[in-house]
Amino acid sequence: MQSNSIPKLNVAGANISTTSYDEVTSTIAGWFQADPLQQSPSRYICVTSVHGIVTARSDRELHDSINNADIATPDGMPVVWALRSFGATDQRRVYGPTLMLHLCQAAASLNAGVYLYGGRPEVLPALCERLRQITPGLNIVGSYSPPFRPLSPAEDDHVIRMIRDSGARLVFIGISTPRQEKWMAAHQQHLPGTVMVGVGAAFDFHAGRVRQAPLWVQNAGFEWLFRLMMEPRRLWRRYLLTTPMFLPLWGWQKAHAWTTHRKPVFTDRKCGRTIS
């Protein structure tokens, strides 16, 4: 189901929502009230960084997963700057770890069960404890740490049953890009009545396993460098080989708009048309 009124703006081939924490939170609260549990298709939200946008250029499944998402938030400052340059002048970052806390607060106020899918086995207990400390009344109805290999069909069916039987309305997915986006798109029809949100490294940040970049570093657009220093072996390919490709893609798109005198093109997710 893709019926929401938050518009999207194309950034290097990825349709990114021009939205805010408050708008995403209120939209999801509305979905909880409008969609009976296990009676309507799931909705999903991608928290989209430069890494996801660039990777989607050569990964069709990821591209479709992002562009078919109900909401795709701008997770990194370069994505925010690109949106501003294409007409969304007031755009702010909608960062996965922070969005996760906003949504936990909404879930607690609505008594909506939360399920955590992802993270290391030793991380999940610390994550659950921390989230309950931050958000009193939060109802975490289950968690599962998947192996790093692909699940067998029987294992996947077991996970789906666990999530459905838990009664969860909000499912956080923390298995990193591009796996989490593909997982949400593939399971949309199997988890009716739920809202899935891919939050990437938020599990490790909130559990205290990985240090989060200071706010001033994030706002300056240097979070990538901070994360690279924290986890060089895991992230060097992402930040040294993949993400630098974003700047020429953004520049080419901007130059093309200038030379053709084209206005920014928005995609209206509610009626499936573009707005110039």
Task: Identify the pLDDT of residue 216.
Answer: 87
Task: Identify the pLDDT of residue 274.
Answer: 40
Task: Identify the pLDDT of residue 1.
Answer: 42
Q: Is-cis flag, bond preceding 248, omega within 30?
A: no
Q: Where are the domains of the chain?
A: 8-275
Task: Identify the pLDDT of residue 226.
Answer: 83
Banded pLDDT at 127 (limits 50, 70, 90): very high
Closest CA to 195 of 163, 153, 159: 163
Give the mean pLDDT of 105-127: 95
Task: Identify the pLDDT of residue 210.
Answer: 86
pLDDT for 162 beyond 80? yes
Closest CA to 199 of 119, 138, 84: 119
pTM over 0.95: no
Q: Which of these ranges, 30-34, 59-63, 179-183, has the smallest mean pLDDT?
A: 30-34
Percent of the chain clearing pLDDT 90 (strictly above): 70
pLDDT in tens, 189-209: 999 999 999 998 999 999 988
Give the mean pLDDT of 245-258: 90
Give the list of residues 6+ apart from residue 50 with CB closer than 8 angstroms, or none: 76, 78, 79, 224, 243, 246
3-class secondary structure for 187-242? CCCCCCCCEEEECCCHHHHHHCCCCCCCHHHHHCCCHHHHHHHHCHHHHHHHHHHH
Percent of the chain clearing pLDDT 70 (strictly above): 92
Higher-scoring residue by pLDDT: 71, 209: 71
> Are 16 and 74 contacting, i.e. CB atoms less than 8 angstroms apart?
yes
Q: Which of these ranges, 74-83, 123-132, 175-184, 232-241, has the smallest mean pLDDT?
A: 232-241
Task: Identify the pLDDT of residue 43.
Answer: 95
pLDDT for 71 beyond 50? yes
Give the mean pLDDT of 227-240: 86
Other CB atoms closer than 10 Å to residue 164's CB: what's the count?
Answer: 17
pLDDT for 106 beyond 90? yes
Q: Which of these ranges, 118-122, 133-137, 265-269, has the smallest mean pLDDT?
A: 265-269
Cite the beta strand spans of 26-93 per DSSP E: 43-48, 71-74
Average pLDDT value over all residues in the chain: 89
Q: Which token pair is 83?
A: 């949106």
